[in-house]
Amino acid sequence: MDSVAPAPRASFSLLETMRLEHGRVERLERHMARMAEAARYFAYPWSESTIREALAAVAREHPQGCWRLRLLLSVDGRPTIECAPHADETRPWRVPLAVRAAFRFEPARAAAMRPNELAETVLTAFCTAFERLHRP
């Protein structure tokens, strides 16, 4: 991906949202790769070791529980991490899984659909699965 330098007075930060659970960031390598790619694209300075040190410090401060982290990378490459309690998730997300599973078994059908038809089919499947969750 080519680099696109931000405007001289760029005022936005790059953002990556992560889940910290029991002192461990879920899917850390994916988050790091995504943030590094965005930094390269916008020509922001990137220090992976600095980012990892900042994340490790937050993990040490929150060794228990489930937390929502917002990693912000400023235009000068400085990381900031915001940490808040993660929303209580007492029930697993089964609906999106049901929709993904349906299309995993019929990829040719999904590929042959027009975008609006695909969106309508997915939405219908989602609503049907959601309604089934609330049945006794």
Assign 3-class secondary structure to the chain.
CCCCCCCCCCCCCEEEEEEEECCEECCHHHHHHHHHHHHHHCCCCCCHHHHHHHHHHHHHHCCCCEEEEEEEECCCCCEEEEEEECCCCCCCCCHHHHHHHHHHCCHHHHHHCCHHHHHHHHHHHHHHHHHHHCCC
| Amino acid found at 119 | A
pLDDT per residue over 52-105, tens digit each? 999 999 999 999 999 999 999 999 999 999 999 987 655 554 445 555 555 555
pLDDT per residue over 107-116, tens digit each? 667 667 776 7
CATH 3.30.470.10 fits 14-85, yes or no: yes
Note the pLDDT of residue 93.
Answer: 46
Query: What residue ranges do the domains of the chain occupy?
Result: 14-85, 95-133
pLDDT per residue over 1-44, tens digit each? 555 555 454 578 999 999 999 999 989 999 999 999 999 998 99
Note the pLDDT of residue 100.
Answer: 56
